[in-house]
């Protein structure tokens, strides 16, 4: 069995940067992370062992601690609350998210701001926070169709939005305003990974997708791959099942944007070992026949 790993898999630039900052910060000061740093329990556990405590509210941090802002970013009130409590902030907001926050703040001065994305996602809540009180999020064409008319509208995207959905909504929004400003704030990392995984899944007999089950982008990767071939979503190498690879010639491997290289490597190693075991059994069977 040949194990083929997707060319683009695992950490995106923003997540890698956030993790590096967290690991660096904890070496010099007591550190808390505002929310789990990434959607991967193994990484969160590892950081906790290094001393990074996860908090859900600024009030849970002590003034002696440094608070890491994760790649999704936060609304301005969080920086303000940290400042008031004398808590040092290590800002690991992804620069692409930061750009969307800045654009939302500027656009809100002259227009109604709409963010296309999941209204419950911290990144979207953060961007809305920078845009101020009137801004809101929508995610479906139907929601766009139901909107009233606005004299001036600005639309931005959650960085992980599919291009097609954003475009559909933008087309609809033209009917709801006399002036629409479009900021395409989609980050290519997600779609690039999805395209590469989809192509790979079309060439193999089985796909393994590694990542947190609570990670939306990992689940999306698995669902895309399953359109092409049998697909298994796992969090760690221990979950691999030898039966998935019986009689298989080519197996594909990809991973969500919050899966670290060390977990991908472990999975790859174990898949290769299963393969070798399989070959050994085959050889023994052949010897028995002789």
Which positions are annotated as active-site residues? Answer: 123
- Nearest in space to 263 (alpha carbons), one of 44, 31, 24, 33: 44
Task: Identify the DSSP state of 196.
Answer: H
- Report in angstroms how near the CB of residue 17 gets to ligand F3S at its nearest: 8
- Report in angstroms how near the CB of residue 172 gets to ligand F3S at its nearest: 25
Site map 21..60 versus ligand F3S, x via CB under 6 A: ----------------------------------------
Residue among 1, 68, 253, 257 that touches ligand F3S (CB under 6 A): 257
- 8 Å CB contact between 157 and 128: no
How many Cβ atoms from other residues are within 10 Å of residue 168's Cβ? 15
Site map 196..235 versus ligand F3S, x via CB under 6 A: ----------------------------------------
- Report in angstroms how near the CB of residue 191 gets to ligand F3S at its nearest: 10
| Choices 21-29, 135-143, 185-193, 275-283 (CB under 6 A): range interacting with ligand F3S | 185-193
CA distance 184 to 146: 22
Residue among 71, 158, 161, 194 that touches ligand F3S (CB under 6 A): 71
Residue among 3, 6, 10, 14 that touches ligand F3S (CB under 6 A): 14
- Residue 90 phi/psi, 5-degree rounding, is -105, 110
- 8 Å CB contact between 260 and 290: no
69 binds ligand F3S (CB under 6 A): no
Dump the DSSP string for 222-235. HHHHHTTSEEEEES
H or E stretch at 131: helix 122-131
CA angle 154, 102, 184 (to 5 degrees): 50
CA distance 166 to 220: 17
> Closer CB to ligand F3S, residue 214 or residue 280?
214
> Closer CB to ligand F3S, residue 74 or residue 147?
74
- At a CB cut-off of 8 Å and minimum separation 6, what does 90 contact? 21, 22, 25, 31, 66, 67, 68, 69
- 8 Å CB contact between 118 and 96: no
- Cα–Cα separations (whole angstroms), residue 206 to 135, 218, 264: 44, 16, 16
- Report in angstroms how near the CB of residue 193 gets to ligand F3S at its nearest: 9
- 8 Å CB contact between 196 and 254: yes
> Closer CB to ligand F3S, residue 15 or residue 144?
15
| Choices 93-101, 169-177, 248-256, 278-286 (CB under 6 A): range interacting with ligand F3S | 93-101
159 binds ligand F3S (CB under 6 A): yes
| Choices 8-16, 34-42, 79-87, 113-121 (CB under 6 A): range interacting with ligand F3S | 8-16
- 8 Å CB contact between 212 and 256: yes
97 binds ligand F3S (CB under 6 A): yes
- Report in angstroms how near the CB of residue 277 gets to ligand F3S at its nearest: 37
Enumerate binding residues for ligand F3S (CB under 6 A).
12-15, 71, 94, 96-97, 159-160, 187, 189-190, 257
């Amino acid at each position: 069995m040949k194990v083929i790993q997707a060319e683009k898999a695992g950490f995106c630039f923003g997540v890698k940067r956030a993790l590096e900052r967290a690991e660096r910060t904890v070496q010099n000061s007591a550190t808390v992370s505002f929310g789990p740093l990434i959607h991967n329990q193994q990484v969160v556990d590892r950081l906790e062992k290094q001393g990074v405590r996860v908090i859900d509210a600024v009030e849970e941090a002590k003034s002696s601690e440094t608070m890491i802002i994760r790649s999704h970013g936060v609304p301005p009130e969080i920086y303000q609350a940290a400042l008031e409590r004398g808590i040092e902030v290590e800002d690991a907001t992804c620069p692409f998210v930061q750009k969307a926050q800045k654009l939302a703040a500027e656009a809100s001065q002259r227009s109604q701001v709409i963010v296309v994305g999941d209204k419950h996602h911290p990144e979207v809540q953060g961007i809305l926070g920078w845009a101020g009180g009137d801004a809101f999020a929508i995610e479906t064409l139907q929601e766009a169709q139901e909107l009233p008319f606005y004299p001036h509208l600005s639309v931005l995207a959650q960085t992980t939005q599919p291009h097609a959905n954003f475009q559909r909504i933008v087309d609809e929004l033209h009917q709801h305003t006399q002036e629409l400003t479009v900021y395409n704030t989609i980050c290519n990392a997600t779609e690039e990974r999805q395209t590469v995984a989809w192509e790979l899944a079309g060439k193999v007999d089985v796909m393994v997708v590694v990542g947190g089950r609570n990670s939306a982008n990992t689940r999306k990767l698995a669902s895309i791959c399953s359109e092409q071939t049998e697909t298994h979503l796992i969090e760690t190498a221990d979950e691999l099942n030898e039966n998935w690879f019986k009689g298989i010639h080519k197996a594909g491997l990809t991973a969500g944007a919050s899966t670290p290289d060390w977990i991908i490597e472990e999975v790859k190693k174990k898949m290769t070992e299963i393969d070798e075991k399989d070959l050994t059994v085959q050889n023994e069977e052949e010897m028995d026949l002789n």
